[in-house]
Every structure is written in C-alpha cells, then in structure tokens.
Structure 1
Amino acid sequence: MKFEGKMAKRLETMEENRNKLVAAARKAFADRGFAAASMDELTADVGLTRGALYHNFGDKRGLFAAVVHQIDSEMALRAKEIARLADGDWQRLLAEGEAYIEMALDPEVQRIVLLDGPAVLGDPSKWPSQNSCLAATRQTVSTLLERKVIKPLDEEAAARLLSGAALNAALWVAASDSPKEVLPKAIEAFRAIASGLLAVDQS
C-alpha cells in the first residue's frame, strides 16, 4: 500500500510539473515566440530544472507541441460552443468554420498556433488536435448528407476540404499585414466555397 501511495504521489507531482511547464511555456511562446523563448528562464520561473523539461517533453519542440495541442483543442471547443447557438446543422457548420477563422485575430492563437506552429511542427493538418476538429466536421457533414442538405459527396472528402478551407483561411489572416481587413474577405470566401456543397440554396 505504501508503494502504491508513493507511486500515486509521484504521478501527481509529474502531472503538476507538466502543467506548470505548459502554462509557463504558453506565456513565453506568446510573448517572445518559439525561437526567442528561453528554456532556462522558463524552468527557473516555475522552480524546475531543465531535466524536468526533458523528462516530460523531450525537448523545447516537444514542449511547444504540447502548448499548440492545448490551444488548438481550446479553439475547437470554443468554435463548437459558438456553433451550438446557430440555427440548424448547416448554419452550425458555417458558424464553426467562421469562429475558427476569427480566432486568428487572437494574439496568442496567431503567434503560437498559426505562425510559429507550422514553422516548428510542420503541416497543421497532421497535428492530433486538428484530427479532433476534422472528426467534428465529419460528424456534421454526415448528418447533412443523411438529410440531403448537401450534395451526395464522399463524407471524408467534404469534411477534409471544409476543415482545410477554415484552417488555411485562419493561416492567411494570421500571416497578413492587416488581419482585421483580411478577416471579412476570408469569411466571405469560406461561406461561398462551403455553400457550393448545398443540394439546394440554403445560404
């Protein structure tokens, strides 16, 4: 029993350390960007060693991946919450995509997920957090296909193209010199592209 208690305590401490490192890294990456963020300063700020960072995440890139995963997952949840307020499955699909694009104006999302993210971690469509976004879109597309709201297309293809359109629109907004000016153009084009899937005009 003592051994089990020690193991439980050790796991709890490891989880606390992970959470501390992710929270500190999130702030550092948002403030200074991936390249300029100092891992020595970060670990010192939370009273841990670089050894704790390496043990939990492998390296700076691994810690960055954990931060991106956390923020990207939060973005997906936020988009779903906004979409729930929309009237009907089709409007929900549009609202979710538009909400994701609009989050490109959030400084933390912009710098960590949309600017540094692809540069450090590669193709965003392959990130685990993007897979959960895709799964949600696929579910909505499936419902729309069953109800014959959209054309009889391949479910996976339609879901991937819609998710890709929203992601690339967000990347464009984040990378532009005038994100606030680009945003309405991106949303208008996203709606136009998505509406091409409709079996009848419901836009």
Structure 2
Amino acid sequence: MKRRAETMEENRAKLIGAARKAFAESGFAGASMDDLTASVGLTRGALYHGFGDKKGLLAAVVAQVDGEMAARAQQAGAKSANDWDALLAEGAAYIEMALDPEVQRIVLLDGPAFLGDPSGWPSQNACLSITKQAVGKLIAEDVMKPVDIEAASRLLSGAAFNAALWVAASAQPHLALPKAIEAFTIMAEGFLAHPN
C-alpha cells in the first residue's frame, strides 16, 4: 500500500513537471495531453486519476508556480529594514514576476482564463493569509491605520495581483512595470498611520 502511494505521488510530480513545461511553452489550450503524458511515460488514465481532468492539472501547476511566487516575494521582503518596507517589497516583487514568461503564461494569463477568479484559488488564499498576518502586525504596531485587517489585506493582495495581470498583458511590460509598482506603493501608503 505504501509503495502504491509513493508511485502515485511520483506520477503526480512527473505530470505536474511535464504540464508546467507544456503550459509555459504552448499555453493551456495548446498543450496536448497525449504528448504530455507520453513525455513522462504515463497514460491519460494517470492524469485523470491524479487530477480529474486537464483543468485539474492546470490548477495543480498554478498552485505550484503561485506558491513559488509567494516564497520569492517573501524572500524579497526579508531583506527589508522593517515590516512596512517588507510589505512594499513583497508587493513589488510579486508584480515584477509578471516579467517571467512562465509566470505570465501559467498564473497570470491562463490561470484566470481557465480557472476563474483567482480569489478562489487555494494558492491566492495562502498569500492572503500571509498578508493578513503582516497587516495585523503593522496595525498593532501603529504603523498602519486601525482598519479592518481582512479588507486591507484583500485590497493590497488584489492590487499586487491585478498590477501583475496588467504588466503581463501589456504590449510593453517593461514600461508598465515601474508604473504599476509606483501606483501600488502610493496606494499602500494610504494605509500608513503616520505618513512621512
């Protein structure tokens, strides 16, 4: 029984890896499930057993990439001098990841198109949870105004995600990026209890 579970987990990892490559290169709609499964020596049956369908596989890939994005954003924030600067750095780093072709295609373009509203994705809710903790701490420290934690967190998270969507869909993403980060920062500063 244990070996079977290990095999299923190995097959799952193989399929997610192959799908990530295929979705990044060809997009969700253009990726062939037969080619994808054959590339890792599996059948469509393994895909359906592990993920239900192609959309289920996309959801797993989006969760993986989005989770990596959150970790990269947190790493950017960890280099900051204080919690407020960390919050801004995390938002800016998340927006900047829109320049990464894999992130653009999988999370920012195909994810919303095929999986619907990102606020319902488990990976986005995990990001929101981290933001809530940061916002709660900043309010407790009188850095941010005493505003509803969930409302502020959803606005900040949503602003970063939507700014990344805009950058990814822009005809000139490198020009849109600094504008998006500047606007995000100005909006976030409206929450400051004691603006400079």
* Interval containing the TM-score (normalised by the shorter chain): over 0.9
**Counterpart residue identity of residue 188, structure 2:** A
- The list of structure 1 runs, each at least 4 consecutive aligned residues, that deviate by more than 3 angstroms after superposition, is none
1:91 Cα shift? Answer: 0.2
2:6 aligned with 1:12: yes
2:90 aligned with 1:90: no
Could you say which residue in structure 2 is the equivalent of 1:63? 57
In the alignment, the residues of structure 2 paired with residue 58 and residue 151 of structure 1 have an alpha-carbon distance, to the nearest angstrom, of 45
**Counterpart residue identity of residue 143, structure 2:** V
Give the fraction of aligned pairs with identical amino acids, expressed as a percent. 69
Could you say which residue in structure 1 is the equivalent of 2:34? 40
Q: Could you give the per-residue CA deviations for residues 114-159 of structure 1, whole angstroms, max 9, x where no partner exists? A: 0011000001111000011001110010111111111111111111
Which secondary structure does the structure 2 equivalent of 1:199 belong to?
A: coil
In the alignment, the residues of structure 2 paired with residue 36 and residue 157 of structure 1 have an alpha-carbon distance, to the nearest angstrom, of 38
Q: Could you give the per-residue CA deviations for residues 64-92 of structure 1, whole angstroms, max 9, x where no partner exists? A: 11000000011001100110000101000
2:131 aligned with 1:137: yes
In the alignment, the residues of structure 2 paired with residue 151 and residue 62 of structure 1 have an alpha-carbon distance, to the nearest angstrom, of 40
Could you say which residue in structure 2 is the equivalent of 1:78? 72
In the alignment, the residues of structure 2 paired with residue 158 and residue 54 of structure 1 have an alpha-carbon distance, to the nearest angstrom, of 39
2:115 aligned with 1:121: yes
In the alignment, the residues of structure 2 paired with residue 122 and residue 104 of structure 1 have an alpha-carbon distance, to the nearest angstrom, of 18
In the alignment, the residues of structure 1 paired with residue 145 and residue 43 of structure 2 have an alpha-carbon distance, to the nearest angstrom, of 56
Find the partner of 1:193 among 160, 166, 187: 187
Could you say which residue in structure 2 is the equivalent of 1:29? 23
TM-score (norm 2): 0.99
Find the partner of 2:158 among 164, 172, 179: 164
Give the RMSD, CA atoms, in angstroms. Answer: 0.6
In the alignment, the residues of structure 2 paired with residue 72 and residue 175 of structure 1 have an alpha-carbon distance, to the nearest angstrom, of 17
Could you say which residue in structure 2 is the equivalent of 1:104? 98
In the alignment, the residues of structure 1 paired with residue 119 and residue 174 of structure 2 have an alpha-carbon distance, to the nearest angstrom, of 24
TM-score (norm 1): 0.96
Q: Could you give the per-residue CA deviations for residues 44-80 of structure 1, whole angstroms, max 9, x where no partner exists? A: 1100010000000011111011000000011001100
Q: State how many pairs are aligned.
A: 196
Which secondary structure does the structure 2 equivalent of 1:134 belong to?
A: helix
1:201 Cα shift? Answer: 1.6
Find the partner of 1:155 among 138, 149, 160: 149
In the alignment, the residues of structure 1 paired with residue 95 and residue 15 of structure 2 have an alpha-carbon distance, to the nearest angstrom, of 28
